[in-house]
Chain A
Amino acid sequence: MGAFNAVFSRDLRVAFRRWSELAHPLIFFSIVVTLFPLALSPTAAQLREVGVGVLWVATLLSSLLALDGLFRGDAEDGTLEQLLLSPVSTTVAVYAKVTAHALVTLVPLICLVPLSAYTFNIPAAALPTLVLALLLATPTLTVLVGLGAALTVGLRRGGSIVGLLVLPLTSPLLIFGTRATDLSMNGEPAAAPLFLLAALAVLAVSLGPLAIAAAVKVGIE
């Protein structure tokens, strides 16, 4: 637990000292969300129809943007190597890093979503479900993003390839997440897809860091 706290708080400190980088995914999210209405020039009713999907896709795309910083900086200056050499379990260190990453990149994104949802005429009654679905999807998404970062940490430039690896794997999140919100927009109970998102989160949190740790070890060698 001590090791977890040490890595976790260090990662948070490093992240907050680079304010501008933290803002990149948020700005990107806003831009994507702005581009869709420009491309569709829709009516209010149409906006409401596509809104949920647009917000989810924008969230997934934005989460890719920050991912390169998860391991690359530490790999380049040798911190990651020291972490692997230390007696601390790599899986614990990965847990800490990935949790910190989710906290500084995904959670702010989710905070932006209700505001954007309002501009898409998504009824306020559906907002709690939308945010809850996003929060439940966050652990799985974080693990997938972490895996993408870990698989490409040994590459000089991983940026372009990461999307190919991560995005197909995120499709269940997209399906369950948008379904939950759609159901609650129609006034129906949205528990089933939310439970499925929670189940995926449990699966991802229990197995994902092992895979990420394995990938980091291979990548750093």
Chain B
Amino acid sequence: MKLPRWFHQFGSPPYVYRLADRLCPWLGGLGGALLAVGAVWGLAFAPPDYQQGESARIIYIHPQTAYIGMMAYVVMAVASAIGYVWRLKLAHAVAVSAAPIGAWFTFCALFTGAVWGRPTWGTYWQWGDPRIMFEALLLFLFLGYLALREAFDDRDKADRVTAILAVVGVVNIPIVHYSVEWWNSLHQTSTLLAEGGPAMTTDMLIPFLIMVAAFTLTFYWLLLRRLQAEIVEREGDARWIRELVGEGAR
């Protein structure tokens, strides 16, 4: 398969490194600003829930972390597939960069869920709850991916072997998701994607969506920063990096 030119450029580490340099201030700045606005609005000004009271404010943090965790897995798997099929080293670098972020956000989803679960469900952890189980399994998939990477000495081989694992995992994710859904759930169903539009009033929906946008931008900012570090590590001897570092030193 022949690659179009715009795609080709994304295979060039210096190009991507500089692109990331240009994008990062925007992603980081906008993400940080939205994070501040959404957090203050959601935690201080949005109305409390009529049933759950103040503890419902977790909805401005917890669903977003869970969503970023899953998105990180998809980014990792798509990048892995691209890297495997076209032997694009940079795509592998993206996958490697996404994995720890995904693992961390998945952990945060579990943690914030547990903190919220204590006052609301009366327990930090409920074995057998589908979403908790799904998130835990997702975390294990991330950890397995990272562990497999660590085990290889040869980076090229590690890239391609873990790519296969990531792609198999993405096939498995909907299966795991629906299989755990089969249990009786304690977890509430989706509020945003409910039948007949979001089951939230506008004054709660707006900060919720601001937080979704903020988390998404922050995720991509983190991803690009990690990617830059990964590129420097992989291309450490290349001339353009020496020049880059030389410039920085002066």
Contact = CB atoms under 8 A, between A and B. Distances in A.
B179 A151 contact: no
A71 to B, nearest CB: 13
A179 B180 contact: no
A161 B157 contact: no
Contacts of B161: 151, 154, 215, 218-219
Interface stretch (B28-36, B168-176, B226-234): B168-176
Given A151-B164, A214-B164, A219-B157, A164 B172 contact: no
B74 to A, nearest CB: 17
Interface residues of B, number: 28
Interface stretch (A54-62, A89-97, A169-177): A169-177
Contacts of B182: 175, 179
Nearest to B142: A168
A154 B144 CA distance: 16
Interface residues of A, number: 26
A125 interface: no
A164 B152 contact: no
A172 B144 contact: no
B140 interface: yes
Contacts of A164: 140, 143-144, 147-148
A221 B157 contact: yes
Contacts of B157: 154, 218-219, 221
A152 B151 contact: yes
Contacts of A152: 148, 151
B137 interface: yes
Interface string A22-60: 000000000000000000000000000000000000000
B167 interface: yes
Contact of B179 (A154, A167, A176, A218): A176
Contacts of A179: 182
Interface string A114-156: 0000000000000000000000000000000001000110110
A155 B152 contact: yes
A165 interface: yes
A168 to B, nearest CB: 4
Q: Which of A152, A161, A172 counts the most B-chain CB atoms under 10 A from its CB?
A: A172
B169 A218 contact: no
A160 B84 CA distance: 25
Contact of B172 (A154, A169, A175): A169
Given A171-B180, A214-B164, A219-B157, A161 B151 contact: yes
Contacts of A176: 179
Interface of A: 147, 151-152, 154-155, 158, 161, 164-165, 167-169, 171-172, 175-176, 179, 196, 200, 207, 211, 214-215, 218-219, 221
Interface of B: 84, 133, 137, 140-141, 143-144, 147-148, 151-152, 154, 157, 160-161, 164-165, 167-169, 171-172, 175-176, 179-180, 182-183
